[in-house]
Every structure is written in structure tokens, then in C-alpha cells.
Amino acid sequence: MQEYFAALTIILMLGMVWTRALLMKKSGIEVVHFGRIDKKDFLIPPFAFFYFYVVFTPVLHLPPVSGQAFFHSGVVSWAGAAFCLTGLSLLVLSLISFGKSFRIGIDQSQPDKLVTTGIFALTRNPIYVAFGLILMGQFLIHSNWIFLLYLGGGFWLFHRQVLREESFMRGFYGEEYSRYCRRVRRYF
């Protein structure tokens, strides 16, 4: 059952982000800026597709990449489902709070206003926290070395992107962003 929830989490997460991006595009706002600053970012999608395959393997009865698990615990697996649900909830709050400032990647030409209200009053990077919670939940549900590698790699990539965004925002928003950083933690 939890494997189905893990797969549904991925579908809902991607659906929310891309639906938001498409709706904003219809109103004339270009949202997707992924890979424009660092072309190496285009190495990420193949790893993401492999991750999706591994998540959907038990649900679609595909050949597994690894059957070795660190532990088998229904309680831990349900805790993973709770992490996924918390991550999805945080993602929804983030997308609502972002308003028209939502972007995928760094928009150097028209970044919109600095968002410091809503969920952004509690954490400067709620979407990355949401993704981290989802990755943790997926690991707890599947509990194998592939998900552990993705958990570590995902945290590293999120932090790398956060540092890039912070550098840009310090330069673009100046003292307003510095005051915000002093008030609100980077993650939680």
C-alpha cells in the first residue's frame, strides 16, 4: 500500500509544479528557467527519470533494480508516507505563498517581488524542504541503497541550488533580502 502512496506522491508533486507553470505561462509569465545559468543542470533529468522508474517499479510490476532493503517495517513505511504527505502539503502552501513569483530555476531578467509572507515567513526555502521531506519519505517506504543515494544526492543538489539562488537574490534585492535572511532560517 505504501508503495502506491509513494508513486502517487511523485505524480501529485510533478502535477502541482507543472500545472502551476502552465497556468502562469498562459498569463504571460515564463516560469521555466532551469539550466540557463549552469548547463550541467541538464545532467539531472536522466537521474530523475531513473528515480521515477525505481519508485514506480513495485506499483507497475516492473523488473526491480534492487530487491535489497535495509529494513522491513510497516511502521517505518507508514512514517515515510506521513513524510510524503507533509512534503506535499508544504509544497501546496509554497505554491500558494509564491503567487506570481514562482519560478523553476533563476529568472535573471524578471524575477518578480521577494516573497517573505505565508510559509516563507517560516522558512526561506519551503519548496526544497518539501522535496527533502518527500525524498526522506520515499526512502523510508522503500528503504534500499538506491533511495539512500538519492536522498543524499537530492539534499546536496537542493543545497547547491539554494546557494545559487541566495547569491542572486543578495545581488538583486540587496538589503531587503539581507533583512529577510536575518529574520528567517534557510531551511527550518
Q: Indicate the pLDDT class of residue 20, thresholds 50, 70 and 90.
A: very high
Could you tell me which residue, 32 or 155, shows the higher pLDDT? 155
153, pLDDT greater than 90: yes
Is residue 188 in some structural domain? Answer: no
The helix/strand/coil state of 83 is helix
Q: Write down the pLDDT at residue 13.
A: 97
Domain extent, residue 135, equals: 2-183
Q: Three cell numbers at 161?
A: 541550488
Q: In this structure, what CATH number is given to the domain that contains residue 110? A: 1.20.120.1630
Give the confidence band of 135 by pLDDT, cuts at 50, 70, 90: very high
Residues present in the chain in total:
188
pLDDT at residue number 111: 81
Beta bridge partners of 104: 32
Q: Is residue 64 part of a domain?
A: yes
Q: Does residue 78 sit within a domain?
A: yes
Number of domains in the chain: 1
pLDDT band for position 114 (cuts 50, 70, 90): very high
Is the pLDDT confidence value at 12 over 80? yes
Predicted TM-score (pTM) of this structure = 0.92
> Bigger pLDDT: 94 or 107?
94
Q: Which residue, 171, 181, 147, 134, is CA-closest to 64? A: 147
